[in-house]
Structure 1
């Protein structure tokens, strides 16, 4: 029997979504590695840069690079947090806000494209399953999982 690989399928979806986003948002000059920050900022205006990294499970260096690029494009601004001078709060600019509907529209089209032929119940099951898998992946302590020198410890399976 052929082995089922969730990782392979998720990887294909991830790569193809990046291809799609790069085409769909080309006129806005927003890349597939940047759009997710805009989406999160639309939902959490004024969030700290560190919180943004944590929410998206993206390392701080990659977050800083993406935010710098978006800031240079005039789509967001970073302001020092008055309560913690070491931290930045991130806000979308008017220009960044003006892109919101185009970005969301592109994401709706992508979702329709990849769920074409599925009924609403199936889509809900897939989304709930992906959310659950994402949460498990994000909360796993991999150092502990492989604590015996590279092999998965039985008690951690």
Structure 2
């Protein structure tokens, strides 16, 4: 029987969570919280809806993560100037201080994942993973359309 890619992806996910939990423990940031910080490092002041969309997780999960990061002093929420229904999320000074350790962790994790891979192999893995994500997204959208009919 052929190897199940879902099983391998699940193993990678669990190992990733363990890596990030260990790395971020001293900063009191969870493995669920660091992706939100990474999004804000790329573009501060995003809406919560934008973060939900980019991370492809449900609104209630993001609400909990944002609340936790806010309570820890890493981010602050502000009402959008134009659309008062939207919250924008901004890094605080404390949140900005985590950028270097998180970037260092990303480099370390990527180094572990791509050990002994050529650049071409690494690029091909990324292409295939993106294709899998696109396939799942397309399937999810089809199911949503059928549900709405």
TM-score above 0.5, yes or no = yes
- Stretch of structure 1 that moved more, 60-69 or 107-116: 107-116
**1:95 equivalent in structure 2:** 94
Structure 1 position 3, deviation (Å): 2.0
Shift in Å, 1:6: 1.1
Unpaired runs of 5+ residues, structure 2, are: none
Counting helix residues as a fraction of each chain, which structure ranks higher? 2
The C-alpha deviation readout for 1:133-155, integer Å capped at 9, x for no partner, is: 112222322526988xxxxxxxx
Q: CA RMSD in A?
A: 1.7
Q: Could you say which residue in structure 2 is the equivalent of 1:143?
A: 143
TM-aligned CA deviation for residue 112 of structure 1: 0.6
Matches within 5 A, 1:52-131: 52-131=51-130
Within a 5 Å distance, the mapping from 1:28-39 to structure 2 comes to 28-39=27-38
Q: Is the 8 A contact 1:48 1:90 kept in 2?
A: yes
Is the deviation greater in 134-143 or in 50-59? 134-143
Q: Which secondary structure does the structure 2 equivalent of 1:84 belong to?
A: coil
Q: Distance in 2 between matches of 1:87 and 1:45?
A: 15
Under a length normalisation based on structure 2, what TM-score does the superposition of the two structures give? 0.91
Residue 85 of structure 1 and its aligned partner are, at CA, apart by 1.2
Q: Which has the larger radius of gyration?
A: 1
Question: Shift of the alpha carbon at 1:44?
Answer: 1.8
Q: Distance in 2 between matches of 1:139 and 1:42?
A: 28
Deviation at 1:68, TM superposition (A): 0.5
Alignment TM-score, normalising by the size of structure 1: 0.87
Unaligned runs of 5+ in 1: 148-157
Go from structure 1 to structure 2 and tell me whether the alpha carbon gap of 1:142 and 1:55 turns closer, same or farther (over 3 Å shift).
Answer: same
Alignment coverage as a number of residue pairs: 146
